[in-house]
């Protein structure tokens, strides 16, 4: 299996490295939750932010941001995460309506879909992330006496290793349809790890299963270093996303899935901004320019 790269820190929790990005998304979801025109509701999100010393001074409402929606980080970028949450919520709800009863969240971070979505009661949600991130999450949820609406199975593994055995040992059934999300994950992983992940999802899925993932198609990410998004994230909260993203060549995962017989469709986030009439639109030197949301379905042979 692919080894580690210098880009991904071995820090295990949410206090630093790639784990901190889980808190960034949680803060964005907290802000989205409190908007009058909210696209997605996550009442747990602000509690994660408040529980982590690393982000004690981050906002959880847009009113706490001096320049409000004009702030590139807590305005436009947060809205991006709100839109992404909504689009993938809808994808999952459609997938379970079509019959999937197993949901696998790859790089789950502080995702609370098992607690907040109206999933069928016989659904199981597997949350894969590193042990430190899942331990922090559990601590906050336990403190709030939060109860999942469906069976929830934390899967503490590093996706850079061979994780499929742990998932099946914890109850995942490769013979039954499943719905998978890789939301804000793949570009943190080395290319061979992504290829292995896609191969594993294909191997563990039966006809009728689905996968949605986020990709970044930019040839040269560093060309966007001075974009308002990356600059604000670096300067306001000290997260250098371009340093955390893997810098090696990216596989064509949508193409790989198509070659394996999956049907795929690829959208820009802006497609959904237009659909929902809320969210980010293209701007010059745009850090979101290469972002794509891919929806893949494994048909009956
Ligand atoms: N999917 C969540 C969401 O959208 O709220 C979290 C996204 S966060 C940007 C990225 C997540 O991927 C973090 O929780 C991080 O710990 C996880 N992650 C990154 N590399 C990982 C790895 N090698 N193994 C397991 N999880 C990983």
pLDDT digits (tens, 9 = 90+) for 217-245: 999 999 999 999 999 999 999 999 999 99
CB of 75 within 6 A of ligand 1: the answer is no
Q: Is residue 25 pLDDT above 80, yes or no?
A: yes
Q: Is residue 4 pLDDT above 70, yes or no?
A: no
Q: pLDDT-based confidence at 301, cuts 50/70/90?
A: confident
Q: pLDDT digits over 94-113, tens only?
A: 999 999 999 999 999 999 99
Instruction: Quote the pTM value.
Output: 0.96
Q: Is residue 71 pLDDT above 70, yes or no?
A: yes
CB of 140 within 6 A of ligand 1: the answer is no
Closest ligand 1 atom number to CA of residue 183: 1
Using the mean position of ligand 1's atoms as its centre, give its distance from the Cα of residue 291 in Å.
Answer: 17
Write down the pLDDT at residue 2.
40
CB of 283 within 6 A of ligand 1: the answer is no
Write down the pLDDT at residue 1.
44
**Ligand 1 pocket test, candidate residues 19, 48, 185, most atoms within 8 A of CB:** 185
Q: Is residue 139 pLDDT above 70, yes or no?
A: yes
Q: Which is more confident, 299 or 12?
A: 299
Q: pLDDT-based confidence at 283, cuts 50/70/90?
A: very high
Write down the pLDDT at residue 297.
98
CB of 13 within 6 A of ligand 1: the answer is no
Domains of the chain: 6-297 (3.40.50.150)
CB of 25 within 6 A of ligand 1: the answer is yes
Using the mean position of ligand 1's atoms as its centre, give its distance from the Cα of residue 108 in Å.
Answer: 6
Q: pLDDT-based confidence at 16, cuts 50/70/90?
A: confident
Q: Is residue 6 pLDDT above 90, yes or no?
A: no
Tokens representing residue 216 in the block: 């970044």
CB of 111 within 6 A of ligand 1: the answer is yes
Q: Is residue 11 pLDDT above 50, yes or no?
A: no
Using the mean position of ligand 1's atoms as its centre, give its distance from the Cα of residue 105 in Å.
Answer: 10
Chain-wide mean pLDDT for the chain? 95
**Ligand 1 pocket test, candidate residues 129, 135, 136, 212, most atoms within 8 A of CB:** 129
Using the mean position of ligand 1's atoms as its centre, give its distance from the Cα of residue 184 in Å.
Answer: 7
CB of 20 within 6 A of ligand 1: the answer is no
Q: pLDDT-based confidence at 135, cuts 50/70/90?
A: very high
Q: Is residue 256 pLDDT above 70, yes or no?
A: yes
């Amino acid at each position: 299996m692919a080894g580690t790269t210098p880009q991904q820190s071995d820090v295990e929790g949410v206090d630093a490295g790639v784990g901190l990005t889980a808190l960034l998304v949680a803060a964005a979801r907290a802000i989205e939750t409190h908007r009058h025109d909210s696209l997605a509701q996550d009442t747990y999100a602000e509690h994660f932010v408040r529980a982590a010393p690393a982000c004690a001074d981050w906002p959880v409402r847009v009113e706490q941001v001096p320049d409000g929606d004009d702030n590139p980080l807590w305005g436009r970028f947060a809205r991006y995460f709100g839109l992404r949450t909504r689009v993938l919520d809808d994808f999952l709800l459609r997938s379970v309506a079509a019959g999937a009863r197993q949901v696998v969240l790859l790089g789950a971070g502080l995702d609370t879909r098992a607690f907040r979505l109206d999933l069928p009661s016989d659904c199981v949600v597997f949350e894969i992330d590193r042990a430190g991130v899942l331990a922090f999450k559990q601590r906050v949820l336990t403190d709030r006496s939060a109860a999942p609406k469906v069976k929830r199975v934390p899967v503490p593994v590093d996706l850079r290793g061979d994780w499929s055995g742990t998932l099946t040992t914890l109850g995942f059934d490769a013979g039954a349809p499943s719905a998978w999300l890789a939301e804000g994950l793949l570009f943190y992983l080395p290319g061979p790890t992504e290829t292995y992940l896609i191969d594993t999802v294909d191997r563990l899925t039966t006809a009728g299963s689905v996968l949605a993932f986020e990709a970044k198609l930019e040839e040269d990410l560093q060309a966007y270093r001075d974009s308002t998004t990356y600059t604000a994230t670096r300067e306001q909260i000290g997260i250098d996303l371009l340093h955390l993203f893997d810098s090696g060549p990216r596989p064509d995962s949508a193409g790989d899935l198509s070659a394996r017989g999956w049907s795929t469709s690829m959208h820009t986030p802006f497609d959904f901004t237009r659909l929902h009439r809320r969210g980010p639109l293209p701007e010059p030197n745009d850090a979101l320019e290469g972002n794509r949301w891919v929806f893949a379905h494994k048909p009956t042979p």
